Amino acid sequence: MKTESYSHRPAPQGVGSLRGFTLSEMLTVIAIIAVLAALLFPVVGRARKSAGNAKCVSNMRQLGTALISMIGDQAPNLSVHYYDGSKEPTWASDLVDKGYLSSDTMKNVARCPSLATPAELIDHYGFFCYGLNRLATLTRTSDPAANPPVQWDEKINTMTIASSSKAAILGDSVLRPNFMGFKGYQWLFFGFGNNGDGGIVHNRHSGRANLFFLDGHIEALTPAEIRSLQTSNPKIYDQGPLEYAEETITPAGNASMKTIP
């Protein structure tokens, strides 16, 4: 029985011989790919930012919910900062030590994906992407050099807050440029005005900062909106000029600070 080799089988009728691309065709394809890439890159960038913001909101919600639980357990006064001379003087260690969040959870949710953190700056609970409104939540220390430090108590009674929906207690923060010689991307506390503290609000989400409010909701606000928020309650917001950081962080870790009078 005679067999026919596939290599010598004639091409089917209507199918022309194969040929390579011409130079003009290749250039056309490359041009089309370049145009598509130019169109897609901004979309991918926006999607990445959107995903980072969603993760930030999720992190802040876990932290804020834990804070509200701790505040509720010591109601009616807002006070989550402590310093007894033997522990880290941070609200983060307070949440972990008192069982509101596990240590592993804290390490996960304390990092904002929109703010890269060099490994050498992650020091226990010393550097975080989120800060507390220091006027609303902190127990003040008058003499930190003393052992134990001398404190005075300015706890705010939650019953006196006009509107919990306007009381921001947690938000995106960053270290004030050149504060006491430190160079870092993060800070645990911030003020809403020019108060000299190390932390300031960081508008790192397309010009907005995520803020967690006492009623449990989160808003992404522009500097102008935050400035307007300051005047809503003098008890928990400094009334001086608003100092804030823009999205850009220098290679040295310094924020680009701006001021709204």
Six token digits for residue 254: 């310094």
Q: Quick check: 237 pLDDT over 70?
A: yes
As a whole number of angstroms, the distance between CA 223 and CA 207 comes to 8
Q: Sorting pLDDT into bands at 50, 70 and 90, what band is 6?
A: very low
Res 226: pLDDT: 92
The string of DSSP codes covering 189-235 is EE-SSS---SEEEE-TBTTBEEEEETTS-EEEE-HHHHHHHHTT-TT
What band does 249 get if pLDDT is binned at 50, 70 and 90? Answer: confident
Per the model's pLDDT, the better-predicted residue between 4 and 109 turns out to be: 109
Give yes or no for residue 11 having a pLDDT over 60.
Answer: no
Higher-confidence position of 59 and 178: 59
Q: How confident is the model at residue 144 (pLDDT cuts 50, 70, 90)?
A: low
pLDDT computed for residue 171 by the predictor? 92
Confidence of residue 40 (pLDDT cuts 50, 70, 90): low
One-character DSSP codes across the chain = -----GGGSPPPTTPPPP-PPPHHHHHHHHHHHHHHHHHHHHHHHHHHHHHHHHHHHHHHHHHHHHHHHHHHHTTTEE------SSS--SHHHHHHHTTSS-HHHHHHHT--TTS---GGG--TTS--SEEEEHHHHPPEEEETTSSSPEEE--PEEGGG-S-GGG-EEEEEEEEPTTGGG---S--SEE-SSS---SEEEE-TBTTBEEEEETTS-EEEE-HHHHHHHHTT-TTTS--S-EEEEEEEE-TTS-EEEEEE-
Where does the pLDDT of residue 142 fall: very low under 50, low under 70, confident under 90, or very high at 90 and above? low
pLDDT of residue 257: 84
Cα–Cα nearest to 71, from 213, 208, 187: 213
Q: Are 166 and 141 in contact (CB under 8 A)?
A: no
Residues above pLDDT 70, as percent of the chain = 65
**Average of per-residue pLDDT values in the chain:** 75
What confidence category does residue 44 fall into, taking pLDDT thresholds of 50, 70 and 90? Answer: very low
DSSP-assigned beta bridge partners for residue 143: 150
d(Cα 117, Cα 68) in Å, to the nearest integer? Answer: 27
Question: What pTM, to 2 d.p., does this model score?
Answer: 0.74
Q: Which residue has the higher pLDDT, 92 or 180?
A: 92
Predicted confidence (pLDDT) at residue 109 exceeds the cutoff of 80: yes
Count the alpha carbons within 13 Å of 58 in the hemisphere toward its beta carbon. Answer: 12
pLDDT digits (tens, 9 = 90+) for 193-231: 766 567 889 998 989 999 999 899 999 999 999 998 887
